[in-house]
């Protein structure tokens, strides 16, 4: 009780402070003109403006974070048009020699054919055709054209035997492609004889060897019959070229190895 009286005695010693009186004008009691947009004064005091807090987020930007994991790759796009062909590159250097070939690999080529019909010269040259086969390894001799086709480059031996015709000249050539290599010749005689010619030729891939009867500029013929074979043509490979390399250093594959038959 004593404390309460002490507080009252202290408060009675402090002079009360009157509240502040706002400044007013003589027109403050007037209502604002209609349509002016001014706020009316309530109780002689205008309403305080509303204050809203605004935070600028740009000044609150933090540090750059760590890089995230790589996402899954997207679908491939459409394939573009092919580009133009580039310039040819420079020629490369010569490669190393290959390993030795199989010593057991052997190339063979041989034929022996005959003719049972006589043949007389015409206005043009004739290839001597044959109708009897004795040997024709891998069909290297073409019976339809009368020509041997070289499938294996190398050195070959060829031989042709013919029987002359009485009182007629015999005039033939052993041909390599379109070049005359050796002649088979006999002058007209009252008796027929056997004539023979042999030679060796260095052949390249696809070379042709055949026998050609001369044209009618000279009346010539060869004799044979259906009973005995008087005309024969033979050839065989003596030595194949160095495998895989020829004179100009290019490939020396056989026709069979190149898929040509």
CA 170/CA 166 separation, integer angstroms = 10
Residue 169 lies in a domain: yes
Give the residue-averaged pLDDT of 15-34.
58
Q: What is the pLDDT of residue 172?
A: 95
Q: What is the pLDDT of residue 70?
A: 84
| 131 vs 218, higher pLDDT | 131
pTM of the entire predicted model: 0.56
Position 18 scores a pLDDT of 60
49 occurs within a structural domain: no
Q: Are residues 158 and 199 in contact, defined by beta-carbon separation less than 8 angstroms?
A: yes
pLDDT at 246: 43
Nearest 10 degrees: Cα torsion 180, 131, 204, 244: -170
Cβ(130)–Cβ(148) under 8 Å? no
Task: Look at residue 261 and tell me whether its pLDDT is greater than 60.
Answer: no
Residue with tokens 């010619």: 197
In total, how many domains does the chain have? Answer: 1
pLDDT over 90 at 64, yes or no = no
Residues 6+ apart with CB under 8 A from 140: 109, 111, 148, 149, 150, 151
Backbone φ and ψ for 94, nearest 5 degrees, come out as: -65, 135
Using pLDDT thresholds of 50, 70 and 90, give the confidence band for residue 249.
Answer: very low
pLDDT in tens, 154-210: 999 999 999 998 889 999 999 999 999 999 999 888 888 999 999 999 999 999 999
Kindly report, residue by residue over 81-137, the tens digit of the pLDDT.
Answer: 888 888 888 888 888 887 776 666 668 999 999 999 999 999 899 999 999 999 999
Q: Is residue 14 situated within a structural domain? A: no
Residue 245 binned pLDDT confidence (cut-offs 50, 70, 90): very low
Residue 226, in any domain of the structure: yes
CA distances 133 to 107, 109, 136, 146, 174, Å, are 21, 15, 7, 11, 19
| CATH number of the domain that residue 169 is part of | 2.60.120.40
What's the token pair of residue 52? 């809203």
The residue segments making up the domain with residue 228 are 110-240
| Contact status, residue 117 vs residue 231, Cβ threshold 8 Å | no
Residue 68 is assigned to a structural domain of this protein: no
Q: What is the DSSP string of 99-161?
A: ----TT-----EEEEEE-S-EE--SS-EE----EEEEEGGG-EETTTTEEE-SS-EEEEEEEE
């Amino acid at each position: 009780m004593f404390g309460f009286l002490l507080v009252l005695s202290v408060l009675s010693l402090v002079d009360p402070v009157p509240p502040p009186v706002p400044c007013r004008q003589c027109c403050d009691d007037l209502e604002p003109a209609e349509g002016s947009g001014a706020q009316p004064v309530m109780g002689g005091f205008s309403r305080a403006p509303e204050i809203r807090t605004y935070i600028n987020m740009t000044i609150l930007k933090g540090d750059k974070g760590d890089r995230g994991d790589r996402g899954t790759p997207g679908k491939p796009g459409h394939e573009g048009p092919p580009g133009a062909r580039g310039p040819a590159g420079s020629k490369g250097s010569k490669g190393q020699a290959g390993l030795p070939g199989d010593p057991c690999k052997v190339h063979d080529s041989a034929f022996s054919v005959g003719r049972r019909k006589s043949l007389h010269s015409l206005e043009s040259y004739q290839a001597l055709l044959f109708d009897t086969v004795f040997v024709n390894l891998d069909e290297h001799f073409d019976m339809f054209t009368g020509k041997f086709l070289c499938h294996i480059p190398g050195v070959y031996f060829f031989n042709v035997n013919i029987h002359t015709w009485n009182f007629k000249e015999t005039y033939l050539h052993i041909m390599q492609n379109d070049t005359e290599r050796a002649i088979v010749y006999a002058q007209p005689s009252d008796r027929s004889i056997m004539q023979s010619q042999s030679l060796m030729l260095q052949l390249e891939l696809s070379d042709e060897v055949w026998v050609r009867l001369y044209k009618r500029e000279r009346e010539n013929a060869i004799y044979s019959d259906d009973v005995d074979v008087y005309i024969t043509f033979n050839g065989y490979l003596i030595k194949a070229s160095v495998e895989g390399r020829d004179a100009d250093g290019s490939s020396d594959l056989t026709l069979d190895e190149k898929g040509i038959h």
